[in-house]
Structure 1
Amino acid sequence: MKSFRHRLLIMIVGWIGLLLASLLIIVSQLFPLYANLEDPATIWLLLFLIFATAMVISTIISHRIIKIQSQPIENVTETALELVKGNYRARAVESGAVGAVQLSATINVLARNLQEITAIRQMEQERLKTLIENMGSSLMMINRQGRVSLVNKPFLRELAMSNENIQGKLYKELDIPTVLAKFIENVFMTEMPDRDQIDFSIGLHQKHLDVYGAPIMGEHERWLGVVIVAHDISELKRLEQVRKDFVANVSHELRTPVTSIKGFSETLLDGAYEDTPTLLSFLEIIHKESNRLELLIKDLLELSKIEHAGFQVKAQPTDMSAVIERAAGMIQPRMEDKAILLNLQLEPVEVLGDPDRLIQVMMNLLANALTYSASETTVEVHLFKEQEEAVIRVKDQGIGVETSEIGRLFERFYRVDRARSRNSGGTGLGLSIVKHLVEAHHGKITVDSEVGVGTTFTIYLPLAS
Structure 2
Amino acid sequence: MRLWSRELWRLIGWTALGICLGWLVGMPGLGLAGGFAVCLTYHLRQLRAAYRWLTQRPQDEPPAANGLWGELFDRLYRYQKSQRITQNRLRTTLARIQESSEAMRDSIVMLDHHGDLEWWNSAATNMLGLQTAHDRGQHITNLLRDPRFISYFNARDYSEPLTLTSPIDERRILQYQITLYGDDERLVMARDITRLHQLEQMRRDFVANVSHELRTPLTVLSGYLETYGELSDQLPPRLGRGIEQMQAQTQRMQNLVNDLLLLSRLEIDQGGKDHQPLDVAALLNNVGADALALSDHQHTLDIDIDNVAQLVGSEQEIRSTVSNLAFNAVRYTPPGSAITLRWKAFGSGACIEVSDNGEGIDPVHIPRLTERFYRVDKGRSTATGGTGLGLAIVKHVLLRHDAQLQIDSHPGEGALFRCVFPATRLVTPAAPTHNVSSVT
- Larger Rg over CA atoms: 1
Normalised TM-score (structure 1): 0.43
